[in-house]
Structure 1
């Protein structure tokens, strides 16, 4: 069966590689506390921009938030006279809180995520007993992407690809000749994302990654996380399809789906939950907004006991 979305993405990448004016300017912002990389992606021709996977700082011990990481992005946007059109989330993150509403209030833009966020909202809405006031229809976001949806950042062509497995709702965003792949894949020496969260699936993750790796070998891949693989001293978050196909320790060419599923399942059993999973998921399924304040004016994060 023809994969029209992937074919369109490949054609877009080839066109951008042939014409430098169709390639984005990319600025990365690394948050070492959560090992997360956020991006500002802009069109040099129009100064229109998108912000991808922003971080709101959060101290678990005190329950306090901070906007220092978001302010670095604001400073970059204003210094470069950019106009934000999109605030893109690759998925509802389990390791950091999104700063998208904070940034949207100050910079504008549409907040967007994949349409299957509704599945994630339903699963975690039940886990956190969020009640009937919590909408599970994705209405906390301005736009819900489907697989193959085209959009633009200024004059730059962009396309959304559904890449489930880490969660049901993961999206990759191909902008010009670059793909922002979220938590599907890491640097070749580190491998791939876990697939053991509620709604995750190692087999779907393998298929999503192999789908991405059919893009042109020269496609630039920008990752959402890096943890410095053993023997590597520097953080890194940019690679290519070709490097992943040749060297990724989990899904390089020649690794079968069954081999990957056995490896990924065994590896996931050894992993502890992310430190910030409870606050992150509760906030991020709400589009980066804190739970509604209670009658004393304070928002609270729930911790389900013996439930995960």
Structure 2
């Protein structure tokens, strides 16, 4: 069966500026959901499945069997809806094998003794260059570290789902200042993607509307990204690293950073319930001066 059967539908979550994708083989009707969003209200702690239900309802209308939930990385700006999809469809949850590095980094930060750092909360840990199938479609995994150690892109036919490695050409590139991030690695990962054929379609995980653009956008091409404002021709690795590090030093933490990381490194699962039956997310308190906290 040919990758010509590839079908892609996008679902944009404006509260987190995240794009999730329903990707499927139009012939076999088997599919996957990439980077699903769990609705989470940070002020109240309430969670909801509206966004995931919208994707699943569309999959049902199309008569699809969902085989996979594919995470491009452990997101720091939204909670994953992977466990809900897994429970509803039996789909397997996959992510890059270097999620184990991310788990090891964040386990002590959040004092999570129950967290396993072997990646076993996920059903599949993909290695660079690995191939697997969605119906008759062939998926190639491309390791793209830099934003996080675990970042991967998924190449299916002429389409690549790049996660946070790249944004639209007029917006730039991902930050690289999270623990385990590295601007030089990010530069190399981006150029790995830019060596793909120029007509290759690239699908972003986020969009924030670049200055002068009043509509959201999330699909572009390798040819267009070769003129990305951060990595266009003539920008060296040294230039990029200096720009990225300077820019990152001015960025505030994502609103949902703390809850997202705690949940997403567990494959979207919340921490175990306490003795009162309630699940809690931690907020590490960092004092700028030793005498601030009595």
Q: TM-score range by the shorter chain?
A: over 0.9
Runs of 4+ in 1 over 2 A off after TM superposition: none
What is the rounded CA distance, in whole Å, between the counterparts of 2:189 and 2:13 in structure 1?
A: 26
Q: 1:156-235 to 2 correspondence within 5 Å?
A: 156-235=137-216
Deviation at 1:168, TM superposition (A): 0.3
Give the conservation status (yes or no) of the 8 Å contact 1:178–1:221.
Answer: yes
Give the conservation status (yes or no) of the 8 Å contact 1:22–1:157.
Answer: no
Say how many residue pairs are matched. Answer: 288
What is the rounded CA distance, in whole Å, between the counterparts of 1:78 and 1:84 in structure 2?
A: 9
What is the rounded CA distance, in whole Å, between the counterparts of 2:267 and 2:44 in structure 1?
A: 22
Report the TM-score when normalising by structure 1.
0.92
**For structure 2, which runs of at least 5 residues remain unmatched after alignment?**
289-294
| 1:12 equivalent in structure 2 | none
| 1:290 equivalent in structure 2 | 270
What is the rounded CA distance, in whole Å, between the counterparts of 2:285 and 2:233 in structure 1?
A: 42
| Cα-to-partner distance string for 1:18-72 (whole Å, 9 max, x where unaligned) | x7x5341000000000000000000011000010000001001101101110110
2:57 counterpart of 1:75: yes
**Cα separation, partners in 2 of 1:72 and 1:229, compared to 1, 3 Å:** same
What is the rounded CA distance, in whole Å, between the counterparts of 1:220 and 1:26 in structure 2?
A: 11
CA RMSD of aligned residues (A): 1.3
2:220 to 224, 229, 239: 239
Give the conservation status (yes or no) of the 8 Å contact 1:23–1:176.
Answer: no
Give the conservation status (yes or no) of the 8 Å contact 2:5–2:27.
Answer: no
| 1:134 equivalent in structure 2 | 115
| 1:58 equivalent in structure 2 | 40
Give the conservation status (yes or no) of the 8 Å contact 2:160–2:201.
Answer: yes
Deviation at 1:253, TM superposition (A): 2.2
| 1:280 equivalent in structure 2 | 260
Deviation at 1:96, TM superposition (A): 0.1
> Larger helix proportion, structure 1 or 2?
1
